[in-house]
Amino acid sequence: MQNAKYKVLKDSFGHNDFRVLQEEGIDTVLENRDLLMILPTGGGKSLVYQLPTLMKDGISIVISPLIALMQDQVAALKAQQISADMISSAQSREDVQEIINEAQNGRLKFLYLSPERLNTDSTLYLLRTLKINFFVIDEAHCISQWGHEFRDDYRALGNLKANFPNTAICAFTATSTNHVTEDIVRELRLENPKVLKGKIFRKNIFISAERRITNGYTQLQAFLSRHKNESGIIYVSSRKKAEDVSVYLNLQGYKSLPYHAGLPQHVRENNFKIFVNDNVNIMVATIAFGMGIDKSDIRFVAHLSLPKSLENFYQEIGRAGRDGEDSETLLLFNAADMVLQKRFLNEISNQEYKEHLDAKIDGIYKFSTSEICFHKQLAEYFDDTLEACADRCDNCQDSNVARADITKESQMILSAIYKTEQNFGRNYIIDVLRGSKDQKLLANGAEKLSVYNIGIHLSKKEWFVVIERLLELKVLSLGEFNVLKLTDGAIEILKSKRTVNIKSSRLEVTVKEKKVKQKEDFEYDEVLFEALRAKRAELAKELGLPAYIIFGDKTLKHLADEKPHDKASMLEVNGVGEKKFEQYGEEFLAVIRN
């Protein structure tokens, strides 16, 4: 079994070794056991169910939320000469019947379905006629109302266990807090599942965040100047913004297209194909362009406003660097984004759910403005632990950034909290410092305190930033009802034994320095790499395939480094297997020889 597993890994997928947790996940699937796998985007979740399917009899049923995502994965499997197909509402009755016949006659290894399609009597009848080895639930977080992309149709997937009690269910997602994980297991009715959770840290992704100046176009231009001729996604807040930014970029000489739910389906699908086939470099998109985008060579992701939550942000930046190569992300934001996001909450009637989403918006704003390592913050949000990244986010890298001393202001806040007996939250403490005439303060005798009206030199917003800094430094903590509490670290500051400083940019908007990308960790022939890319583009056009399905950039770089001269030496390159060599090997060898 062990040798067979590694043979399939190399021959069918071209890999020499498994990534972290992949082998453990594959063994769980081969044991016919329920599995929940939480692995960051680019961690190789699809291999965990695709490889066992090739080793088992029968067909695997994959439930996936988006037609574009299913089309992408089916195309990738077919390119590897693996029999796969999908059934969706976009197909004719004749096409659907032909696929059903293929499945019933045992000629398909994978059948992709949407949750809406699965929840019909006709589909359940079809599934009972098939020899199913296991079910795959992709984007499993969609089943939890506490996740960020909850879908009603996913709830009905809990009936799979009732209808197919002896068939294993393997669920996959890139993002899941402990709360969401428990919800997935409960809703899918998984029986004694193996839960595998990878580390959140994506070391090949550099994260930066800046306060947006006006429309952010100048900052975006500076960012894009570091990514000429590279693929990337720019996320915007509205359909109109997607159109406007795309027009602006094209006028600046970039090649971009918009993508949003207001476009006709055939236009969206065509724009998607143009992007994945490298005929344009940039997709300007709303969140309609999202889950499971499998283009491996996306080098950058930019947000021109705050995402809805940290889950959304992590999913969206995860679309960069799926091939493991260095990639960069930029988040542009301001406080108005938070106000706009919260305005949409007024349409929600469920008060508990509304408060839940409200907290998520607060969380992404706090993340954006914080000085704590961005990777560390993400890890802690998803119940993981991580040391500061040192050089993979601008909070860690900006050692020379201008800083302001806020020790005196910190002492004012800490004194005000102490003198009000640690019984109040931020607004009250700031009102005391700024000498508010609010009746509640006067009724409590706040005007008699020595700290009353001593902080008029800062605005209310600036005081909020100082309090956020003290919370980050764990000098303050939040008690019940968000009451501010002093920690042991407060005493050192009050006694002037410890200073406190803050990025000046948090108190006033400044433009950041350009980032320097990390160099490749191995040398390769850049001229040969470009020649191999040109050959890949030529083949992709001939075959009507996305270029990355033929070979990813990382494989081409290894080819340009190792320069194999024959089949045997080319098969030693990571990313090249028997099937891909049969299809494309000689053409790439010819480029290397020449």
Residue 109 vs residues 76, 84, 86: alpha-carbon distances, Å: 14, 6, 11
Query: Is 119 part of a structural domain of the chain?
Result: yes
Pair 304, 355 in one domain: yes
Distance CA 386, CA 200 (A): 9
Residue type, 386: L
**Res 75: pLDDT:** 86
**Coil, strand or helix: which one is 578?**
helix
Q: What are phi and psi of 239, to 5 degrees?
A: -60, -45
Residue 492 vs residues 46, 322, 472, 483, 485: alpha-carbon distances, Å: 52, 45, 16, 21, 15
**Of 475, 506, 537, which residue is a domain's last?**
506
- Determine the Cα angle at 352 with ends 348 and 357, to 5°: 65
**Res 148: pLDDT:** 55
Pair 188, 211 in one domain: no
In this structure, what CATH number is given to the domain that contains residue 500? 1.10.10.10
Query: Is 18 part of a structural domain of the chain?
Result: yes
Pair 428, 388 in one domain: no
Count Cβ neighbours within 10 Å for each residue of 236-259 and write b for 16 or more, e otherwise.
Answer: bbebebbbbbbebbeeeebebbbb
**Res 90: pLDDT:** 75
**Res 149: pLDDT:** 63
**Res 109: pLDDT:** 97
Pair 160, 287 in one domain: no
Pair 304, 339 in one domain: yes
Count of domains for the chain? 4
Residue whose pair of structure tokens reads 């709830």 in the numeric block: 155
**Coil, strand or helix: which one is 558?**
helix
**Res 56: pLDDT:** 95
Neighbours of 113 (CB within 10 A): 21
Query: Is 516 part of a structural domain of the chain?
Result: no
Residue type, 265: Q
Q: H or E segment at 164?
A: none
Query: Is 136 part of a structural domain of the chain?
Result: yes
Q: 160 Cβ partners below 8 Å, 6+ apart?
A: 135, 167, 169, 188, 189
Query: Is 520 part of a structural domain of the chain?
Result: no
Pair 413, 544 in one domain: no
Distance CA 271, CA 260 (A): 10
- pTM comes to 0.72
Residue whose pair of structure tokens reads 């009905």 in the numeric block: 156
**Res 565: pLDDT:** 86
In this structure, what CATH number is given to the domain that contains residue 549? 1.10.150.80
Residue whose pair of structure tokens reads 């029986």 in the numeric block: 191
**Of 506, 535, 550, which residue is a domain's last?**
506
Closest CA to 118 of 141, 136, 92, 104: 136
Pair 430, 535 in one domain: no
Pair 338, 364 in one domain: yes
Q: Which domain holds residue 272?
A: 205-397
**Res 514: pLDDT:** 44
> Average pLDDT by consecutive 10-residue portion of the chain (594 residues)?
86 90 96 95 88 96 85 86 89 91 95 88 93 94 72 82 95 89 93 94 94 89 94 94 95 94 88 90 85 79 94 91 92 85 83 86 90 94 91 83 90 97 95 93 93 94 90 88 92 94 72 45 80 89 84 88 86 86 90 88
Across the beta sheet with 231-235, the strand order is 205-211, 327-333, 298-303, 231-235, 282-285, 256-259
Pair 494, 544 in one domain: no
CB 129 within 8 A of CB 100: no
Pair 486, 543 in one domain: no
In this structure, what CATH number is given to the domain that contains residue 257? 3.40.50.300
Query: Is 513 part of a structural domain of the chain?
Result: no
Query: Is 514 part of a structural domain of the chain?
Result: no
Pair 148, 235 in one domain: no
Query: Is 292 part of a structural domain of the chain?
Result: yes
**Of 450, 478, 506, which residue is a domain's last?**
506
**Coil, strand or helix: which one is 72?**
helix
**Res 176: pLDDT:** 86
Distance CA 37, CA 355 (A): 28
Largest CA distance in the chain: 87
Pair 88, 171 in one domain: yes
Distance CA 557, CA 529 (A): 6
**Res 515: pLDDT:** 46
